[in-house]
Chain A
């Protein structure tokens, strides 16, 4: 099945710093989403982005489907950005509604 790899696995930032999180996937996808899981376990949708670029405030994401990767940019990080960031994909030829998750990037933003 499709493999989803995220890097880096862990990241520590000072407040105000910028960061880039990466998601690589091993097959063509028809869906890609980025999530933020807060310390209480809630998964928050960030972007639905099977291709192209989107921005929402300090966050933006780019998916280059032909090269099988997606990037999540966090600018001017804040302590509330801490948590785990997941990307998840579903792929052509698989069960169309089945999302496969990467193992996440654990982000800690220090004041």
Chain B
């Protein structure tokens, strides 16, 4: 059975903190994604990666960075968290040309 695991479901962080959101997939997919979801705005792509150490900016990369040192792991980094980054973050993975699979989501609150 396919599995995308996000390490933290609920986080509360302070403004200015560095935040790491971790995602692991066990399907040997080459493509991995980070989305954020906000009411009324749907899902918006932050970054994606199509191979180890490769990354591409999505639609809203500002304030975020990513790391993909191993094929199964894709990390989202908020260098200095701000209140407007309070959101639900969704990780996904996909083999090229096939169905995308999502993790359960990470709810981040920045105070």
Contacts and interface: CB of A to CB of B under 8 A. Distances in A.
A97 B42 contact: no
B43 A101 contact: yes
B38 to A, nearest CB: 11
B32 to A, nearest CB: 10
B88 A41 contact: yes
Interface stretch (A14-22, A42-50, A65-73, A74-82): A42-50
Interface in B69-109: 88, 90, 94, 96-102, 104-105, 107
Interface in B19-43: 31, 33, 35, 37, 40-43
A95 B43 contact: no
The dominant DSSP class at the B interface is: strand
A96 B43 contact: no
Contacts of A25: none
A11 interface: no
B50 interface: yes
A42 B105 CA distance: 7
Interface size, A (range) = 20 to 34
A48 B99 contact: yes
Nearest to B104: A42
Contacts of B43: 86, 88, 101
Contacts of A100: 45
Contacts of A42: 102, 104-105
24 contacts: A35-B102, A41-B90, A41-B104, A41-B105, A42-B105, A43-B102, A43-B105, A45-B99, A45-B100, A48-B98, A86-B42, A88-B100, A95-B48, A95-B56, A97-B48, A97-B50, A97-B96, A98-B48, A99-B33, A101-B35, A101-B42, A103-B40, A103-B42, A104-B42
Interface of B: 31, 33, 35, 37, 40-45, 48, 50, 56, 58, 88, 90, 94, 96-102, 104-105, 107
